[in-house]
Amino acid sequence: MAAITAKDVKALRDRTGAGMMDCKNALEEAGGDEEKAVEIIQKKGLAKVAKRAGAIATEGVIHAYIHAGSRIGVLVEVNCQTDFVARSPEFQEFASAVGLQIASMSPLFVRRADITSDALAKQKELFLGQLDEEEQQTGKKRPDEAKEKIITGKLDKWQGEICLEEQPAVTSEDGKTIGQLAEALSAKIGEKISVRRFVRFELGEGVEKKQSDLAADVQAAIAGG
């Protein structure tokens, strides 16, 4: 194994924010492999966070994000355990990333536990209707057991798509989800980080727009002239 240098330790510290001795020990444990050392530090950091899981995360920020053009706006509450962390650049950056995520990907819930039974039942009914329509078109009827298995898979995929924590972050180059980014930040700073709630506004959303027939409007203008 190559000797662990001060440069190696500093590089790992810059990536993880962990203490110098923690970085040195992680590199030694990983045999000098920086990627493995990062994993070791994250796991140890998450273990520390787990010990503090009983602490209530009531600090944080309510972040406001307005998309370019001012047609989409987001308010999101992101929690941590101390005001000190809430003011840190890393926490503020995460809150901004979450706001952009909500504006871009339109999640409906923060996590699966937040999905209402009514929403699940409605989506299941929709998927069943789609399968029935497909069977009518193809003339091939599936056994009830096979149909239930398909519906279960579709519901699982749907929940992953509409839950904020499971969506791949639009700001992440390596495909990490919002939940994984929150876990990584929690490990780095040693506090529980979580998104509590959000609301997303889109200009004109829910307003029934008047449908206009351009050809008819032109004819009416000519006739009126």
The token duo for 158 is 């749907």
- pLDDT of the residue at 9: 87
Helix axes 20-29, 34-51, angle to 10 degrees: 120
What is the reported pLDDT for 52? 54
| pLDDT for the residue numbered 142 | 85
Instruction: Look at residue 159 in the predicted model and tell me its pLDDT.
Output: 96
SS (H, E, C) 37-71: HHHHHHHHHHHHHHHCCCCCCCEEEEEEEECCCCC
Residue with tokens 């004109």: 204
How many CA atoms, within 13 angstroms, populate the side-chain half-sphere of residue 52?
17
| Domains of the chain: residue spans and CATH | 6-51 (1.10.8.10), 59-202 (3.30.479.20)
User: What is the pLDDT, as a whole number, of residue 138?
Assistant: 85
The label of the residue with tokens 């490990």 reads 187
Q: In terms of pTM, does the model score above 0.85?
A: no
Place of tokens 């101390």: 82
Q: What is the mean pLDDT of each run of 10 residues along the chain (225 residues)?
A: 82 74 87 86 63 66 94 96 90 96 96 94 93 87 88 95 96 92 88 94 76 57 57
Compute, in degrees rounded to 10, the torsion defined by CA atoms 112, 113, 118, 123.
Answer: 10
Nearest to 182 by CA among 87, 68, 42: 42
The pLDDT value recorded for residue 188 is 85
